[in-house]
């Protein structure tokens, strides 16, 4: 029996579009680099997702590339080309088996594209920026920008036909959409650049094209979410005040939900806004008409409820659903004391983790709490 302290997690949620989720718990999008080399969905991915999406409210995939020139990760599935429709169709079905709504996250990596993954090593962005390897990105032309906007629409069309319940526009983590909004990476003086209001042009053009595609291609309600990062470390980068401008514009677009990208769900701003209140509280207040997904180091049901109390409508679990695929079932059954908090080097098969993701888990020190097999909880 569910502990009454956690019952709020299992309330039904209605998104802005009228779609109802069976509870407030979300699978966070996490890159796993476990697709086939041709960027099609692999059987290992299908098993991985199916194992940890039972009884969730919403399941958001890892990023899907909208075009070859925007690839950000090796062996991460593509949302372009008819040849990828069968795999995406299987993926949508896997995510939905346990009652979750299935959302395909779509993105373009922009200046974060590894040169070896994009055609001719052509790394592009809003402006020519010096990259970590000392080379420069190439500034996109107006025609290319308009074409990329259409690619977001084409990816949405593919998601509709594959049977997804929605898409999430990835405007966070320093990828192309955020690059256009940031004064650090967007130094243009045409219609795609300028002051903070003018730099909304590309993000809003993508939202408009995705919404236009949905209106044209389905009469059913279809989820459109938007993920964003509230701050950037660079001096010319985004502050909380810039993010409030973005949120005001997005709140007016009637999106299904907004999804903040945070390392810690209860973190406070570095620059802008009220430095004494959590980012999450201020984000919710800045977009009063749109449900917000809170995320960031949520491991226990107590932390999940605290994120809801800060104003989030839903909470996303990333690493925790890798370590404990039965998190939802255990909390619902009142067995939260049995939730695993660590994993061991013997757990790959038990946790149904594809080889590339398992290699990442073992290869990044401190990312996951790994213990010796005999003491794993």
Q: Find the catalytic residue in 175, 226, 257, 265.
A: 175
CB neighbours of residue 218 within 10 Å: 13
Q: Which two tokens stand for residue 352?
A: 């149904």
Contact 252, 246 (CB under 8 A): no
Residues 6+ apart with CB under 8 A from 160: 213, 214, 217, 218, 222
**Distance (Å, whole) CA 48 – CA 275:** 39
Contact 168, 226 (CB under 8 A): yes
Q: How far is CA 244 from the centre of its chain?
A: 19
To the nearest 10 degrees (0 to 180), the angle between helices 279-286 and 240-251 is 40
DSSP string, 104-168: EEEE--GGGS-GGGSGGG--EESS--B-TTS-BPEEPPHHHHHHHHHHHHHHHHHHHHHT-SEEE
Reply yes or no on whether 175 is catalytic: yes
**Distance (Å, whole) CA 172 – CA 179:** 9
- CA distances for 148 relative to 2, 12, 205, 223, angstroms: 47, 36, 10, 21
Supply the residues annotated as catalytic: 175
């Amino acid at each position: 029996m569910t502990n009454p302290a956690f019952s709020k997690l299992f309330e039904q949620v209605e998104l802005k579009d009228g779609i109802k989720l069976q509870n407030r718990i979300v699978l966070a999008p996490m890159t796993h680099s476990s697709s086939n080399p041709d960027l099609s969905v692999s059987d290992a991915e299908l098993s991985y997702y199916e194992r940890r999406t039972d009884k969730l409210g919403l399941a958001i995939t890892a990023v899907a590339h909208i075009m070859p020139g925007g690839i950000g990760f090796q062996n991460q599935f593509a949302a372009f080309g008819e040849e990828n429709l069968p795999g995406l169709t299987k993926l949508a079905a896997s995510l939905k088996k346990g009652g979750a709504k299935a959302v395909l996250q779509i993105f373009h990596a922009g200046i974060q594209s590894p040169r070896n993954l994009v055609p001719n090593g052509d790394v592009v962005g809003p402006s020519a920026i010096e990259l970590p390897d000392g080379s420069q990105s190439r500034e996109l032309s107006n025609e290319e920008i308009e074409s990329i906007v259409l690619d977001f629409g084409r990816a949405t069309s593919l998601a509709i036909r594959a049977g997804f319940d929605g898409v999430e526009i990835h405007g966070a983590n320093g990828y192309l959409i955020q690059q256009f909004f940031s004064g650090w990476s967007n130094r243009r003086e045409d219609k795609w650049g300028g002051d903070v209001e003018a730099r909304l042009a590309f993000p809003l053009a993508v939202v408009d094209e995705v919404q236009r595609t949905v209106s044209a291609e389905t009469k059913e309600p279809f989820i459109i979410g938007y993920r964003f990062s509230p701050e950037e470390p660079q001096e010319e980068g985004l502050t909380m005040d810039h993010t409030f401008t973005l949120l005001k514009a997005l709140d007016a677009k009637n999106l299904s939900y907004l999804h903040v990208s945070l390392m810690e769900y209860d973190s406070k701003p570095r620059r802008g806004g009220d430095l004494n209140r959590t980012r999450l509280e201020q984000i919710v207040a800045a977009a009063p008409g749109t449900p917000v997904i809170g995320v960031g180091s949520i491991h226990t049901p107590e932390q999940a409820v605290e994120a809801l109390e800060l104003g989030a409508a839903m909470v996303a679990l990333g690493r925790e659903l890798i370590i404990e695929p039965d998190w939802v079932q255990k909390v619902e059954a009142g067995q939260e004391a049995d939730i695993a908090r660590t994993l061991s080097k013997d757990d790959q098969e038990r946790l149904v983790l594809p080889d590339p993701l398992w290699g990442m888990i073992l290869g990044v020190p401190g990312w996951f709490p790994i213990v010796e097999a005999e003491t794993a909880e």
